Chains A and B, each alone.
Chain A
């Protein structure tokens, strides 16, 4: 196939490396960029470079941060005795969006998965244990996905933390809010019956 521009080809090829973007979408975006004004395209390019240059892992929680310590960890208004352990930085955004949690976070940057060759030493677990050893926490909330890897990581972290006498809890398993019982799979229904609450 002969193409009119190697520059267009290059942009299409680079964009199709992104998640959820195939060759067709990449080509569409490339043509759109071509049509856009130069300042707008420069803004996009600069914002991408800035993203890569300026974001780092927060020294405190392991989440994403623009400075040494992220805005959530340095916020003095947040409860200091509850810590929520999550898999990735995106989970922090999701839990923050719920507005339900007022404590601080700890990001593991993955889950234990022997099948993928990921062990505890590859995750941000040792800093969590140090934090807990230093004291000051009443409760650690494990907010990991209810998969085999998530459950294993939860159990592992709990076994390391419980010797410090800190309460370790896990977020509930069960029905999504507003769902129709008819469409829920049996494993989820079984979990929600197991975890039923008194009213």
Chain B
């Protein structure tokens, strides 16, 4: 999959921008705050309908404007044109998404068709941060591979939310126990299918993660991912009896205490010692980069597609040797778009790349090649 052209209107500091990318390597350089990352953010919005900065769409809009628009032309793909528009209509946010000029109503019909993988500085939070960040990360990867998974997650969330409302009512002695039984059954069926998907995914993903960690770190042993579930089984009937047994705790807390929404992915070594307890900062960085490499690879294996790789300023932490080896590893995996503060000098890599310079919302390209 190759992003050939990107158009932005009122997207962050770009009032009107059009860029043509090289099918191989692209470098976007510029000073801090000039708007390098905004370009990657726009590509990620077209791909995932969400910013990797994890913020609302209204923050993405250029100051004093009431809408943004971005579109990408893609080659080597089933579909060739992706468009995302966002505006406020009567103070209500509205997002319009199109593939090849046809409006798409369901997110799951859009998601997973233009696939990007981001390497961003905050990736280390997947290793260091809260379980929620890990669930969110792995859910996003599974959704890229299986778009129906988004629908399942949304239904699961809705069921949990409804069930919690019923639990709270029962806690206040206004609830209907029969109704809780119904929601326990609905919960068990959905939880089961989510658990099964996550478990089979993590088995495949782990193989790639271990391979990549060994390759990048040069260490002799690799840690691996463990999917830690709060429910004992993934069979719907066993879950149902477990949930029925736990109902008393749930009622007391007015909340669904066990389930896929409370699970975690923990990295350990072979002695089951948690990675974050012994790993150095460099090892954590290596693990987070290995996760992203594995994401690139699993997409290639399961979807038979090369994704678009977005790399945001992670070079500032790496020495030149590591920088070059990372570019070497990535360059055969798909089109790459890098942002960085300094210009890039390696002549071998520059020969088939395109450079862009960003200054105060103006992008100029390819002058120094």
Q: Which residues of A, 105-164, contact B by the 8 Å Cβ criterion?
A: 112-115, 119-120, 148, 151-152, 155-156, 159-160
Known: A148-B158, A187-B148. A160 touches B183 (CB 8 A): no
Known: A148-B158, A148-B159. A112 touches B151 (CB 8 A): no
A148, B186: Cβ atoms closer than 8 Å: yes
Interface size, A (range): 10 to 19
B179 at the interface (CB under 8 A from A): yes
B148, A119: Cβ atoms closer than 8 Å: no
Contacting A119 at CB < 8 Å: which of B155, B176, B186? Answer: B176
B148: chain A residues within 8 A (beta carbon)? 185-187
Known: A159-B178, A160-B178. A115 touches B165 (CB 8 A): yes
Contacting B162 at CB < 8 Å: which of A148, A160, A185? Answer: A148
CA distance A160 to B181 in the complex (A): 11
A156, B178: Cβ atoms closer than 8 Å: yes
Chief secondary structure at chain B's binding surface: helix
Interface size, B (range): 10 to 19
A159: chain B residues within 8 A (beta carbon)? 178, 181-182
B158: chain A residues within 8 A (beta carbon)? 115, 148
CA distance A123 to B162 in the complex (A): 17
Known: A148-B158, A187-B148, A187-B151. A112 touches B179 (CB 8 A): yes
CA distance A81 to B185 in the complex (A): 29
A112: chain B residues within 8 A (beta carbon)? 179, 182
A114, B165: Cβ atoms closer than 8 Å: yes
Q: Give 1 or 0 for each of A59-82: 1 = CB within 8 Å of chain B CB.
A: 000000000000000000000000
Contacting B155 at CB < 8 Å: which of A115, A148, A160? Answer: A148
A187: chain B residues within 8 A (beta carbon)? 148, 151
B182, A152: Cβ atoms closer than 8 Å: yes
Known: A119-B176, A120-B179, A186-B148. A155 touches B165 (CB 8 A): no
Residue of A nearest to B151 (CB): A187
Q: Which residues of B, 158-180, contact A by the 8 Å Cβ criterion?
A: 158-159, 161-163, 165-166, 176, 178-179
Residue of B nearest to A155 (CB): B182
A155: chain B residues within 8 A (beta carbon)? 182, 185-186
CA distance A120 to B158 in the complex (A): 18
Known: A114-B162, A114-B166. A152 touches B178 (CB 8 A): no
Show 6 residue pairs from A and B whose CB-CB distance is below 8 angstroms, ordered by the A residue.
Answer: A114-B166, A115-B162, A155-B186, A160-B178, A185-B148, A187-B148
Q: Apart from A120-B178, A156-B178, A156-B179, what are 14 other A-B pairs with CB-CB below 8 Å?
A: A113-B162, A114-B161, A115-B161, A119-B179, A148-B186, A151-B186, A152-B183, A152-B186, A155-B186, A156-B182, A159-B178, A159-B182, A160-B178, A187-B148
Chain B interfacial positions (CB closer than 8 Å to A): 148, 151, 155, 158-159, 161-163, 165-166, 176, 178-179, 181-183, 185-186
